[in-house]
């Protein structure tokens, strides 16, 4: 914010759309050690609080006829539970808390990031890469633990003609290792792009003539971002389920 | 004045700070912040996982199961009550049919009783009528006998009177015999 005011003061249009993603130490100082509480840690903690508020406090009454908060908590539970059950099957249900953790964190971080002046933790590749790598490692390790070498059957398409199989195996192998990359960049890229675009429109608002258009555009983008916030969380979660299914039932 | 200087200094410092803060590229690619983010993310994820798997998910799952149980129980109870209602209706119909049969039986009994009473009364009445008729016949016969007697007496008297009127002397006994003969004939 300060930098934009600064830019307007100088009379020219100065855009700093990426400034909102800068990580700063919460309590002053310049160095960011691995343990320093930063704005990123603050908004992660707020996501935790939001999850506690929704799922723990919301369901604290254990009402048979649910309150609004409990309804939302049950809706989220049912939504992810059904997703895991439908995609991974009955034996995938034991990984439901894991999938639910990912979904709740991403969806809460995305929506908290939409608050003005907030920081969006899921717009950082460091965060989404850790999430995607966690899924990738879980799936790979689980696949070998549960199925042994049969897990490699994932890359050996037995329904294809024999001559094609080595080629397909290479393609499958590449696609398997590209998964965490696409998985993480899809989420961070979508969230970051939307926030940056909103900031660019906000920069244009410094020109009086353009500012109404700019405000309208920000409103429209914001609406789109609300959709994106949920859809990206949904996409991340459903892909997690699909990958988990590969670990549980590797045969094609 | 002092505050102004202070303000100016502050703004300048702010501007300098902002300029320093303005990332030249993407802050996302500032690898110096990665260990920090990764550490706090892992802490966050572990905390969320523990809260969800220990508290939130079992509780919500329990609530949902409880609700399903309640609904199932209610449905079963409704089914039960419905069966009871059907039973009650059957019992009612049965009672109705029984009552109808009973009523018919009672009616038939009453009819038979009345018939018997009627027959009795008729027999009695017939007997009475016969007795009365016999009595009446007897009375009539008596009357007829009396009447004959009377006629004879009258005829005797009349004959005596006629004989006297014709100038004869009437022998009462002879006249009486003659009249008796005549009346008999």
Contact at CB, B48 and A48, closer than 8 angstroms: yes
| Total domains, chain B | 1
Q: Please, which pLDDT band fits residue B4 given cuts at 50, 70 and 90?
A: very low
Instruction: With respect to residue B44, please indicate whether it lies within any of the assigned structural domains.
Output: no
Instruction: Of A8-22, A139-153, B93-107, give the lowest mean pLDDT range.
Output: A8-22
pLDDT digits (tens, 9 = 90+) for A160-186: 888 899 999 999 999 999 999 999 999
What are B153-168's pLDDT values in tens digits? 888 888 888 888 887 7
Which of helix, strand or coil describes residue A152?
helix
Checking if the pLDDT of A2 tops 50, the result is no
Instruction: Judge whether B104 lies within some domain.
Output: yes
**CA angle at residue B128 from B123 to B132, to 5 degrees?**
150
Give per-residue pLDDT as tens, A55-79: 999 999 888 889 999 999 999 999 9
B52/A126 Cβ within 8 A:
no
Q: Which residue of A has its CA nearest to B29?
A: A125
pLDDT at A41: 93
**A41/B29 CB distance under 8 A:** no
What are B76's two structure tokens?
A: 């079963």
User: DSSP letter at A42?
Assistant: H
Cβ pairs bridging A and B (under 8 Å)? 151
Written as six digits, the tokens of B139 are: 């009375």
For residues A214 and A217, what is the distance between their CA atoms, to the nearest angstrom?
5
ipTM above 0.85, yes or no: yes
Give the pLDDT confidence of B22-70 residue by residue, as tens digits.
Answer: 556 788 888 888 999 999 999 999 999 999 999 999 999 999 999 999 9
* A130 to chain B, closest Cα gap in Å: 7
Say if B148 falls within a structural domain.
Answer: yes
B38/A124 Cβ within 8 A: no
Higher pLDDT, A28 or A47: A47
Q: What is the largest CA-CA distance in chain A?
A: 69
Higher pLDDT: B179 or A194? It is: A194
Q: Is residue B93 domain-resident?
A: yes
pLDDT at B93 > cutoff 50: yes
User: In terms of residue numbers, what domain contains B76?
Assistant: 55-184
Cβ-based contacts of A127 with chain B (< 8 Å): 37-38, 41
Domain membership flag for residue B84: yes
Q: Residue A33: its pLDDT value, please?
A: 86
Min distance A47 CA to chain B CA atoms (Å): 9
pLDDT tens readout for residues A216-249: 999 999 999 999 999 999 999 999 999 999 999 8
> Which residues of A fall within a CB distance of 8 Å from B29?
125
Out of B34, B39, B45, the one facing A101 most closely (by C-beta) is B45
pLDDT at A144: 93
B61 within some domain: yes
* Interchain pair B23, A33: CB under 8 A: no
Mean pLDDT of chain A, nearest integer: 90
List pLDDT tens digits, range A69-105. 999 999 999 999 999 999 999 999 999 999 999 999 9
* pLDDT tens digits, B115-153: 999 999 999 999 999 999 999 999 999 998 888 888 888
Q: Does A15 touch chain B (CB under 8 A)?
A: no
The answer as to whether B25 is a domain residue is no
The predicted pLDDT at position B24 comes to 62
- Judge whether B135 lies within some domain: yes
- Mean pLDDT along residues A25-42: 88
Task: Round to whole Å and give the CA distance between B39 and A22.
Answer: 17
Binning pLDDT at 50, 70 and 90, where does residue A208 land?
Answer: confident
Q: Which residues pair with A38 in a beta bridge?
A: A25
B43, B63, B70 member nearest A59 (Cβ): B63
Residues of A in contact with B12 (CB under 8 A): none
Please check the confidence at residue A20 and state whether its pLDDT lies above 60.
yes
- Give yes or no for a contact between A101 and A116, defined as CB atoms under 8 angstroms apart: no
Domain boundaries, chain A: 2-248
Instruction: Note whether A244 and A95 are within 8 A (CB).
Output: yes
Instruction: Please give the sequence-ordered ranges of beta strands (E in DSSP) within chain B, or none if there are none.
Output: none
């Amino acid at each position: 914010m300060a930098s934009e005011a600064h830019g307007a003061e100088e009379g020219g249009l100065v855009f700093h759309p990426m400034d909102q993603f800068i990580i700063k130490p919460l309590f002053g100082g310049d160095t960011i050690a691995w343990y320093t509480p930063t704005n990123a840690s603050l908004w992660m903690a707020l996501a935790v609080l939001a999850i506690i508020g929704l799922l723990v406090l919301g369901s604290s009454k254990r009402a048979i006829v649910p309150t609004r908060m409990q309804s939302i908590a049950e809706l989220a539970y049912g939504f992810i539970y059904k997703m895991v059950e439908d995609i991974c099957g009955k034996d995938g249900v034991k990984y439901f808390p894991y999938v639910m953790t990912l979904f709740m964190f991403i969806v809460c971080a995305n929506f908290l990031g939409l608050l003005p002046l907030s920081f969006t933790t899921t717009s950082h590749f460091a965060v989404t890469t850790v999430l995607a790598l966690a899924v990738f490692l879980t799936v790979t390790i689980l696949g070998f633990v549960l199925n042994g070498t049969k897990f490699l059957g994932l890359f050996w398409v037995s329904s294809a003609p024999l001559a094609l199989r080595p080629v397909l195996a290479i393609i499958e192998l590449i696609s398997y290792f590209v998964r965490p990359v696409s998985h993480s960049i899809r989420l961070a890229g979508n969230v970051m792009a939307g926030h940056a675009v909103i900031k660019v429109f906000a920069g244009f608002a410094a020109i009086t003539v353009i500012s109404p258009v700019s405000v309208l555009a920000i409103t429209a983008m914001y609406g789109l971002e609300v959709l994106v916030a949920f859809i990206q969380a949904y996409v991340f979660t459903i892909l997690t389920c699909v990958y988990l299914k590969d670990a549980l039932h590797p045969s094609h | 004045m002092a505050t102004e200087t202070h303000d100016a200094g502050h703004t300048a410092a702010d501007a300098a700070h902002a300029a320093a803060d303005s990332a030249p590229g993407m802050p996302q690619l500032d690898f110096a912040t990665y260990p920090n983010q990764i550490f706090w993310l892992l802490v966050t994820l572990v905390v969320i996982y523990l809260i969800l798997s220990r508290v939130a998910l079992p509780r919500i799952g329990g609530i949902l199961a409880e609700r399903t149980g309640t609904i199932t129980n209610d449905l079963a109870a409704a089914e039960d009550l419905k069966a009871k209602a059907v039973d009650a209706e059957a019992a009612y119909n049965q009672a109705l049919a029984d009552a109808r049969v009973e009523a018919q039986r009672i009616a038939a009994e009453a009819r038979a009783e009345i018939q018997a009473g009627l027959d009795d009364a008729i027999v009695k009445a017939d007997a009475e009528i016969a007795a009365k008729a016999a009595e009446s016949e007897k009375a009539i016969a008596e009357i007829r006998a009396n009447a004959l007697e009377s006629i004879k007496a009258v005829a005797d008297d009349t004959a005596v009177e006629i004989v006297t009127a014709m100038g004869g002397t009437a022998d009462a006994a002879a006249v009486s015999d003659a009249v008796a003969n005549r009346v008999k004939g």
